[in-house]
Amino acid sequence: RAFELLTGERVDAPHVRAQSALVAEPLPVPSTAIWSRSDGLVNGMICHDAASRAIEVRSSHVGVQVRPAVLLAVARVLGGDAA
């Protein structure tokens, strides 16, 4: 109901279902998910996918962008390290 209220579209509309299926597909490029058990908003277990690497950090949902461990993990991934 929240989706329908915010978007004005029905969740069971054919184009909404098609878009949902598309975004659920694995990414066509290598990916890394940085997640936290202590997020408090998003369940980090959704980041565990056989096709992508998952790096766990300690952080709140809002604080993730300023945590040194997160920034270091991003730098390592972009630098080609295994993190």
Query: What tens digit of pLDDT does each residue of 2-18 get?
Result: 889 999 999 999 999 99
Structure tokens given for 28:
């066509």
Domain that holds residue 21: 2-79
What's the pLDDT score for residue 82?
60
Residues of the chain with pLDDT under 70: 82-83
pTM of the model: 0.63
Q: Which amino acid is at 26?
A: P
SS3 33: strand
CA distance 24 to 18: 10
Number of structural domains (the chain) is 1
